[in-house]
Chain A
Amino acid sequence: MKSLIIIVLLLVVAPDVSAIAYCSLRDPVAQIKQLFPQKTNQLSIVKDIDESTRSRVKQALPNNDLHFSELGKHTLYVAMNNQDVLGYVHVRSEQSKWGLVEIVWALDKNLVIKDFAFQRCRSPKKALLDSRDFKQAFIGKNYQSLKKLLSSNGITANALLLDKAKQAPELANVVLRCALKTLLITELLWWRELNQLE
């Protein structure tokens, strides 16, 4: 029954699945499997990020609004263990020094960060952020708790986080902004579908 609803829902919500969805995983099966090893199957929910979403993001994160190229279709992957939702995978790109950084975010059902991985990060400092110590600053945090890692200017990370990425502060800021946007947009844009999946 649930599968049926999801299928129906997907058909309703994502009528154009064959259309190009940006910020998507390059190898969704493998990448989601890597993040959710119990995954048996997955779902993709494609939705448009429009100006209203952008406005809401701007309101929520005043100095961290979406840039123009982030508008459009975006895909949220749902990792499934048969009929059970294991979590969500959301790929977001964020402008950095060396072009867009694409981070694959693994969220649990409560929209708490479970893990993340870089799909694209040309900076050699990427390895610093791939460390467990740095990731631990994100893992287990939801949007509210993550927001506490922002400094007073609302753009850059606070000293607590930057202390974990002393050699790559700029990249750490990118990761934090990307995480906040990901959690916020996921909740703003996909909350209905995700609730239905549960």
Chain B
Amino acid sequence: MKISNYNQLLAIFTLLSGMIIFSTLWSQYQKIETVSRHHFESRLLVQTVDHLFITSQIWLTTQDLLFSDRQTYLAKGISEQSSQLIQLLNNVSLRVKGGESEALTYQLIAAVKQNDDIVNAFSQLSMEDISAWQKNIADSDLVTTGYVAILEDVYAKVLAENTALSKQLITTTEHFTTLSWVLLSLYLVSIVFVVSWFSKYIVKPIENITALAQQPHQQKKLEFRQRNAPKEIITLSSAIQQFAQHITVEKQKAEQERLNVSQANEKINTIMDTIPCALLLINEQGLITKCNNESEQLFATTKSQINNHYIADFLPALATLEGKFDVASVLKSMEESLLTPRFKKPHVEYSGRKIEIEGRVNYLITISDINERKHSQKALSALNDQLVNAEKLASIGQLSAGIAHEINNPVGYIRSNLDMLKDYFIPIVNYIQLAHSHQQQEDVNSLYKEGDIEFIVNDIEPLISATLEGAARVSKIIKDLGNYAHVDNPEPEIVSIDTLVEQSLSLVTNELKYKVEITTALNAKVDVLGFPQKLLQVFINMLVNASHAIKNKGLIDIQSNIIDGEVSLSFKDNGSGIAEQHLKNIFDPFFTTKPVGKGTGLGLHIVRSIIDEHKGRIDVSSAIGEGSTFTIYLPIYVAEIYV
């Protein structure tokens, strides 16, 4: 049964018991009221009869006076007293209506009236008529004696009734009191019984459950289920039992998970402490909350000196100019940076990731010591530069024949011109000396004619011009070569990509012009930020490789354009092409398809490294027998304008 049903039963029980108790007590009280009222009326009747007694006594005494002293004037007073008595008796008769006393009362009234007649007769008697007096007195005594007897009888009845009513009132009151106590006791007993029953049947099971729930942790299985209890408590206890079992299972799971987590933590700690880089956990404010052993080595201090310190104290790059934690910087990957100047080995590389731990944003940062790498990089860079230079020199060597030929031509005709000028020098000198020796004009003229001075004079200027032009050509070649051979400045420069292409062409034209027809469409007309010598080396390499791909005669088409905001520079040849299987390796170092001793295998590798250095890229497409196209993409230089 449900508690609500018990409550309803309890309410009904309480209501019914209350109603029964109240109605019983009310009924009993009504009885008391009735008896009390009757008793009160009875007391009034007793008082009335008492009054009647006294009046009767006075009445009789007055008669005795009349009889003793024969004072007949008393008869009138007696008559009036008789009237009062009759009135009183009528009152009594009304109060005792319906009983034996009423009949007696009427007898009393009759007696009074009868006596009154006798008394009234006294006034008619002669004082001398003693026998008449005595007769009347005797008659009156007879009547009044009967009157008194009846009156006492009535009084006895009234008194008895009053006494009975008093007893009844006392009895009823006692009954009421007893009944009240009994009912109250029964009610209290019932309440105690109900409460104890409630306690046993409802409260006790709850206390049992509570006591079990409050028991300290025990290994043994707790039994929450209650058998003898209301339905809700049975259901509740079963639910708690299931819940407790569920908690036990979940607790075991949690314990297992705790062990797993502990093991995982150990693993993580082991990994963290084994990982060959500093690993730092940082909160949103940039405060280091956890670090691994490697951090101690990197920062040359203990964990206690690392934890609860700001990351910016170690890595200034992770602080904004205002000194706050720079979230944007921390999320970079493989970012090289420097530790604070107090570190002897400041070069580090860091990567950061945002992670949420327990709902809070944290940042996990790995910091690697790259000082050795930096040293290696410097060495490698130097080596690379040497390699690039070597390759450049090698390409110069490849170009040297053409360049020599190109130089030899002007040098040849410079030399020829100089020979001619040397030949012209003596006649000119002779003529000038003759003219200055004040010889005859004719001699001078003769020498002018004989020495063909006019021709010489006319020929000198073209010879000098041609010589100067040849010297200029040589000078340019030497200059271009010098520029090419020259090592770039360490800082990039703004250079015109088309100009660089033209410079490269001027260097290789002599090498290629006998078997390659070069066409250009340089439409980019933009600048790039880069190292001109290195880019020149790239272009020369492109052209030389293209020329090498062409066996006899061929075409090289050079185009520069702007595509998608980049400079696109393509070198297309119609040479032999590259086998497909080689395409993926052509940029690898030391990869070459040329015979041994003919190529170093570093050309394209250096090309790509230079392009990479310029933040560009290079693509190649080729088909055997059809030729190859190398396309270089470079970022356009855009001048920053500060307003």
A residues in contact (CB < 8 Å) with B: 20, 22-23, 26-27, 69, 93, 95, 97-100, 120-124, 126
What's the count of A-B pairs with C-beta under 8 Å? 50
Nearest residue (CB) in A for B128 is A18
Nearest residue (CB) in A for B148 is A122
Q: Is the CB of A99 within 8 A of B144?
A: yes
B residues in contact (CB < 8 Å) with A: 56-57, 60-61, 63-65, 67-70, 127, 130, 134, 137-138, 141, 144-145, 147-149, 152-153
Smallest beta-carbon distance B620→chain A, Å: 160
Nearest residue (CB) in A for B58 is A99
- Chain B residues with CB under 8 A of A95: 61
- Compute how far the CA of A97 lies from the CA of B68 in the bound complex, rounded to whole angstroms: 17
Q: Is the CB of A26 within 8 A of B68?
A: no
- Chain A residues with CB under 8 A of B63: 99
Q: Is the CB of B141 within 8 A of A122?
A: yes
Given contacts A26-B134, A121-B145, A122-B141, contact A99 B70 (CB under 8 A): no
Nearest residue (CB) in A for B59 is A99
- Compute how far the CA of A121 lies from the CA of B141 in the bound complex, rounded to whole angstroms: 8
Q: Is the CB of B138 within 8 A of A26?
A: yes
Question: Interface SS of chain B: helix, strand, loop or mixed?
Answer: helix
A-B contact pairs, 24 of them (CB 8 A): A20-B70, A20-B127, A22-B68, A22-B69, A26-B137, A27-B134, A69-B65, A69-B68, A69-B69, A93-B64, A93-B68, A97-B57, A98-B148, A99-B57, A99-B64, A100-B61, A122-B141, A122-B144, A122-B145, A122-B147, A122-B148, A124-B148, A124-B152, A126-B145
Nearest residue (CB) in A for B143 is A122
Give the residue among A97, A99, A100 with the most B Cβ atoms within 10 A: A99
Give the residue among A22, A23, A97, A120 with the most B Cβ atoms within 10 A: A120
Q: Is the CB of B60 within 8 A of A122?
A: yes
- Chain A residues with CB under 8 A of B149: 124
- Compute how far the CA of A125 lies from the CA of B144 in the bound complex, rounded to whole angstroms: 14
- Chain A residues with CB under 8 A of B69: 22, 69
Q: Is the CB of B65 within 8 A of A98?
A: no
- Chain A residues with CB under 8 A of B57: 97-99
- Compute how far the CA of A43 lies from the CA of B70 in the bound complex, rounded to whole angstroms: 24
- Chain A residues with CB under 8 A of B56: 98
- Compute how far the CA of A93 lies from the CA of B144 in the bound complex, rounded to whole angstroms: 16
- Chain B residues with CB under 8 A of A99: 57, 60-61, 63-64, 144
Smallest beta-carbon distance A150→chain B, Å: 25
Given contacts A122-B141, A124-B149, contact A100 B134 (CB under 8 A): no
Identify 6 new A-B residue pairs, CB closer than 8 A, beyond the known A98-B148, A99-B61, A120-B145: A22-B68, A27-B134, A98-B144, A99-B60, A123-B152, A124-B145
- Compute how far the CA of A97 lies from the CA of B50 in the bound complex, rounded to whole angstroms: 13
Give the residue among B57, B68, B137, B138 with the most A Cβ atoms within 10 A: B68
- Compute how far the CA of A123 lies from the CA of B144 in the bound complex, rounded to whole angstroms: 9
Nearest residue (CB) in A for B138 is A26
Q: Is the CB of A100 within 8 A of B64?
A: yes
Smallest beta-carbon distance A189→chain B, Å: 18
Q: Is the CB of A100 within 8 A of B68?
A: yes
- Chain A residues with CB under 8 A of B61: 95, 99-100
- Compute how far the CA of A126 lies from the CA of B146 in the bound complex, rounded to whole angstroms: 12
Smallest beta-carbon distance B128→chain A, Å: 8
- Compute how far the CA of A122 lies from the CA of B63 in the bound complex, rounded to whole angstroms: 12
- Compute how far the CA of A99 lies from the CA of B144 in the bound complex, rounded to whole angstroms: 10
- Chain A residues with CB under 8 A of B153: 124
Leading 8 A-B pairs by shortest Cβ distance = A99-B60, A124-B149, A26-B134, A100-B64, A122-B148, A122-B145, A99-B64, A98-B148
- Chain A residues with CB under 8 A of B145: 120-122, 124, 126
Nearest residue (CB) in A for B152 is A124
- Chain A residues with CB under 8 A of B127: 20
- Compute how far the CA of A122 lies from the CA of B150 in the bound complex, rounded to whole angstroms: 11
- Compute how far the CA of A161 lies from the CA of B56 in the bound complex, rounded to whole angstroms: 29
- Compute how far the CA of A116 lies from the CA of B57 in the bound complex, rounded to whole angstroms: 25
- Compute how far the CA of A27 lies from the CA of B60 in the bound complex, rounded to whole angstroms: 22
- Compute how far the CA of A97 lies from the CA of B148 in the bound complex, rounded to whole angstroms: 10
Smallest beta-carbon distance B152→chain A, Å: 6
Smallest beta-carbon distance A59→chain B, Å: 25
- Compute how far the CA of A26 lies from the CA of B135 in the bound complex, rounded to whole angstroms: 8
Nearest residue (CB) in B for A101 is B64
Smallest beta-carbon distance B576→chain A, Å: 173
Nearest residue (CB) in B for A125 is B152
- Compute how far the CA of A116 lies from the CA of B68 in the bound complex, rounded to whole angstroms: 20
- Compute how far the CA of A83 lies from the CA of B64 in the bound complex, rounded to whole angstroms: 36
- Chain B residues with CB under 8 A of A122: 60, 141, 144-145, 147-148
Q: Is the CB of B68 within 8 A of A123?
A: no
- Chain A residues with CB under 8 A of B144: 98-99, 122
Smallest beta-carbon distance B124→chain A, Å: 18
Smallest beta-carbon distance B207→chain A, Å: 74
Smallest beta-carbon distance B65→chain A, Å: 7
- Chain A residues with CB under 8 A of B134: 26-27
- Compute how far the CA of A173 lies from the CA of B63 in the bound complex, rounded to whole angstroms: 22
- Compute how far the CA of A120 lies from the CA of B140 in the bound complex, rounded to whole angstroms: 10
Smallest beta-carbon distance A125→chain B, Å: 8
- Chain A residues with CB under 8 A of B67: 100
